[in-house]
Structure 1
Amino acid sequence: MLKSVLSAMPTYSMSCFKLPAGLYKRIQSALTRFWWDSKPGKKKMCWLSWEKLTRSKRDGGLGFRDIQSYNDAFLAKLSWRILNNPQSLLSRILQGKYCKDHHFLNAPMPSSASHGWRGIIIGRDLLLKNLGKAIGNGASTSV
C-alpha cells in the first residue's frame, strides 16, 4: 500500500517540478510513520533506517523509493527528452524562450526563469554530470 499509494501520489508534481526539501521530509515521515506505528497517535521505535528501507529487495531492503532521488530522476528524464527530441512542441517552446542564443546543455539560468524551467535545469545538470559518449566505430566522432 505504501509503494502503490503514498509513494505514487506526488509523482506528477515530481515529473514537472523540483519539490522543496521540507516536502521530501514530510513524505518520508508519513511513509515511516505508516510503516512503523500501530495507531495514528502512538509512535514506535524505527528498527531500520530509511536508507536500509529504500534499498532494493535484492539488496535486503524493502524497495521503497527515495523521494528526492526519484524527483531528480524524473527531472533528468524530462531534460533527456528535450535533448533527444528537439522538434517536440515542449522542447521548441522552452528552447525558444530560454535557449535562444545557447545550446540546451550550456544555457544559463535567467533570474526570471519559471519554476518548471528551474527543475529542468536541475535535471540537465544531473545529466551533464553523468553523460558520456559511446565512440562505436568512430565515424560520427571527431576528436
Structure 2
Amino acid sequence: MPPYYLSLFKAPKKIIKTLQGIRRDFVWGKTGSRNKIRWVAWEKVVAPKRLGGLGLGEIRSLNWALLMKRRWRAIHQNAHLWVEVIMAIHWGDSVDGGVPLKRVSLAFGRI
C-alpha cells in the first residue's frame, strides 16, 4: 500500500520517518526488544550501488519519483479516466499544480 499512496500524495516528514523506521528495523533484523549488531551504517545501506552502497534508496526520493512519474503520465495520457479523476481531486482543470496537496487519512495516521 505505501507505494500506491506515495505515488499519489506528497508524504509528510512524520510518515517518511515512520516508514524509514519500519524498513530500518527489518533490514537490521530487529525482533521485539532485541537489537542485532549493525555491521553497516544506514547511510551506506541507502547509498547507490555505484557509490559502494546497497542501493536501497531514500523513501523521500521514492515519493518524489513516483509523484513525477504519475504527473508525466497524466500529461501524456490525459484521455484516460484515471487522469480525469486525479485531476478533479487534486488540480481542478489543469495539471500545472505540481505536487498534489490533498491528504488522505490512513490507518497509521493522516498523511
Q: TM-score, normalised by structure 1?
A: 0.55
Aligned length: 101
The offset of 1:55, in angstroms, is: 1.8
What are the equivalent positions in structure 2 for 1:33-48 lying under 5 Å apart?
Answer: 33-37=25-29, 39-44=31-36, 46-48=38-40
CA distance in structure 2 between the aligned counterparts of 1:63 and 1:108, rounded to whole angstroms: 28
Corresponding letter in the other structure for 1:10:
P
Q: Where does structure 2 lack aligned partners over 5 or more consecutive residues?
A: 105-111
Alpha carbon RMSD of aligned pairs, Å?
3.1
Mapped pair 1:98 → 2:89:
no
Q: After superposition, what is the alpha-carbon deviation per residue over 1:14-68, rounded to whole angstroms, capped at 9, x for unaligned?
A: 1222222112112212222233345421235645433321122332111213111
- 2:8 corresponds in structure 1 to 16
Rounded Cα–Cα distance in structure 2 between residues aligned with 1:36 and 1:95? 42
Cα distance, 1:74 vs structure 2: 0.8
| Percent identity for Structure 1 against Structure 2 | 31
Say which structure, 1 or 2, has more relative contact order (CA 8 Å, 6+ apart).
2
Task: Tell me the distance in 2 between the aligned counterparts of 1:114 and 1:24.
Answer: 17
The TM-score with structure 2 as length reference comes to 0.67
Greater Rg over alpha carbons, structure: 1
The 8 Å contact of residues 95 and 104 in structure 1, kept in 2 or not, is answered as: no
Matched ranges for 1:1-143 at <5 A: 10-37=2-29, 39-44=31-36, 46-93=38-85, 94=87, 98-99=92-93, 103-105=94-96, 107=97, 114-115=102-103
